[in-house]
Structure 1
Amino acid sequence: MSNLEDRLTRALSDYPVEPAPDLFDRVVESIAADRLRRRSVLRWLLAAVLVVAVAATAVLTLTPRVNGTLAMPWWILEVATNLVLVGMAVWLGPFIKRFGRAYAADVFHDNPLTGKSYIVLTDIVYYLIFAAYILFTVKVAPTSTWAVVQPVTDVTAGQVTYELIRLGGILLIIGILHGLNIVLMPVLGRLFSLNRRLPERVAGALDEDRLRR
């Protein structure tokens, strides 16, 4: 046995470590939480598949056909896209918040209340961005650039392209803003921490100066 091993053995024997009394309960709880999380993910996936299947079935059965081809009115796709955007906002916000709480708590460990307020403010900004994006891009009448033949009454390839750009655009905007938030949050946490410690240091220096006098 080497010298290092002897020192480690003596150190560990001098300070024996007892396992936590609730260690087994915490392990069991963690396993149960992981199992519950997997079931929740599976349920959400099944629900998503069911929604897609129902939507596809409704489109294929309810959409009128002209000469054997689907002739969906343009406003149906517009409404469906807006509903998808609202659904993305409702689902994506809590999803980001759930995984961002631990990150914010670590960044604002010196200012827990500031961290909670920061999370609330970012949630407000998030939903404002989604609402503004939907209002800016919604169409109340078909656009002439969607098709050569006018007037546009049915869904065209141009409208499908436009709606896909809307969906991709909001994902890109949220992704960029979320990335900037991840990068800037540690800087803000550091600034808030310094602002909190600076008055304490100044007060301590003033007290020392008074004692010297």
Structure 2
Amino acid sequence: MSNLEDRLSRALSDYPMEPSPDLFERVVESIEADRVRRRSVLTWSLVGLLVLMLVVTAVLTLTPRAENGALAMPWWVLEVATNLVLGAIALWLGPFIKRFGRAYAADVFHDNPLTGKSYIVLTDIVYYLIFSAYILFTVRVAPSDGWSSIKPIEDVTAGQVTFELMRIGGILLIIGVLHGLNIVLMPVLGRLFSLNRRLPDPAIAGRRRNDYPE
């Protein structure tokens, strides 16, 4: 046995590690929590798929047909469907980001846990404000002139489909960029908060200097 191995053996034998008395209970609780989470994800996925199928069925059923038998969907149907998709993305993406961002925020704000929790809440508010403002800015209450050269525009056109796809892609791009900036800036903010907490109060520091005159 080498000198390093001998020293490690002595160090470990001097400080025996005893297992935690509630280790088994915590492992069982963790496994059960994981099962509940997986079951919840599966349930909500099935519910979302069922709702999507019902919406598609309702749209296809209620959409009138042209003289040649093809579907002639009114323009407002696609507009309403796009707004519902944007709302669904907001409701799904927000908790998804928050779930995987808690550990990152806890690691960044380990010196200020309460600040980290407040930061997560504030970012949630900003997230939903951005989504709401984007939907209100881009919603259409009348057909756009650029969708088609045919007047009046009553049915869905290729121009409207392109516009609605750009709406969905635009909000995903905005949230992605802002989320990337948040990941980069969060460690900087955590470091600043930690330094601010460690710096002594000037008044207290002055009183301490007065207590020890030269």
Q: Same fold (TM over 0.5)?
A: yes
Cα distance in structure 2, aligned partners of 1:3 and 1:53:
69
Shift of 1:101: 2.0
Is 1:156 the counterpart of 2:154? The answer is: no
Q: What pairs with 1:76-155 in structure 2 (closer than 5 Å)?
A: 76-155=77-156
1:30 maps to which residue? 30
What is the CA-CA distance between 1:202 and the residue it aligns to?
7.8
| Residue 19 of structure 2 corresponds to residue 19 of structure 1 | yes
**Per-residue deviation, 1:112:** 2.4
Superposed CA deviations along residues 54-106 of structure 1, whole A, max 9, x for unmatched, are: 22222222211111110111111111111221222222222222222222222
Output the CA distance in 2 between the equivalents of 1:8 and 1:199: 40
How far is the alpha carbon of 1:205 from its aligned partner? 7.2
CA contact (8 A) 1:144 1:151 kept: no
Corresponding residue for residue 5 of structure 1: 5
Distance 1:201 1:24, change over 3 A: farther
Q: What CA RMSD, in Å, does the superposition of the two structures yield over aligned residues?
A: 2.0
Aligned residues: 213
**Larger displacement relative to structure 2 (148-157 or 96-105):** 96-105
Q: Return the offset for 1:148.
A: 2.2
Q: Runs of 5+ in structure 1 lacking a partner?
A: none
What is the distance in 1 between the residues matched to 2:115 and 2:13? 44
What is the rounded CA distance, in whole Å, between the counterparts of 2:11 and 2:107 in structure 1? 32
Shift of 1:40: 2.0
Aligned residue in 1 for 2:56: 56
How much does 1:201 deviate?
7.9
Q: Which amino acid aligns with 1:30?
A: S
TM-score, normalising length from structure 1? 0.90
**Structure 2-normalised TM-score?**
0.90
Q: Which amino acid aligns with 2:92?
A: W
